[in-house]
Amino acid sequence: MSATIEAIRDDFSLLDEWEDRYRYVIELGEALPEFPDTARIPQNKVPGCVSQVWLTTEQGSGGDPVLTFQGDSDAHIVRGLVAIMLALFSGHTSSDILKTDAEATLKALGLDEHLSPQRANGLRSMVKRIKHDAEAALKQTA
């Protein structure tokens, strides 16, 4: 994933209109790496999302492993939200993931006010799944 959460924050601050921000979120989703069809399995589906969302987790080694996520959705705007979540969490240690306040980041971007309740619930489901995987990774290495 090329966009960092810092770059996304900076880009959002340059966009005044929400229509432009939505377009940018869609562009972020379009820039996600290709998600393999073989990973579109029930175990990788994120429950609680209205759109279909898939998420895979790759765990590094060590006592506080780095987790790398890959994701996709069948909806353009949700795919962009997946990209934002990956920028926020992927490539970080499990303990850092557990400390990260995703809601504060979404609030800073203004997304908390501009998402439908269904999309906001789906986003919370993604965060829950990512944090669950981080907790599991720490338990495995303990």
pLDDT tens for residues 82-96?
999 999 999 999 999
Q: Classify residue 124 as exposed, middle or buried by CB count within 10 Å of its CB (0-12, 13-18, 19+).
A: middle
- Percentage of the chain beyond pLDDT 90 is 77
The chain-wide mean pLDDT, for the chain, equals 92
More confident residue, 117 or 24: 24
Selecting among 28, 49, 85, 86, the annotated active-site residue is 49
Instruction: Quick: pLDDT tens for 2-17.
Output: 689 999 999 999 998 9
- Percentage of the chain beyond pLDDT 70 is 98
3-state secondary structure of 29: helix
Q: Is 49 a catalytic residue?
A: yes
Question: What's CA 139's distance to the chain center, in Å?
Answer: 22
Mean local confidence (pLDDT), 103-123:
86
Domains, the chain: 5-141 (3.90.1010.10)
Write down the pLDDT at residue 111. Answer: 83
| Strand order, beta sheet including 53-59 | 53-59, 66-73, 92-93
Task: Give dist(CA 52, CA 126) in Å, integer.
Answer: 11
Structure tokens given for 115: 């998402």
Instruction: Quick: pLDDT tens for 39-66.
Output: 999 999 999 878 899 999 999 999 999 9
Write down the pLDDT at residue 2. Answer: 65
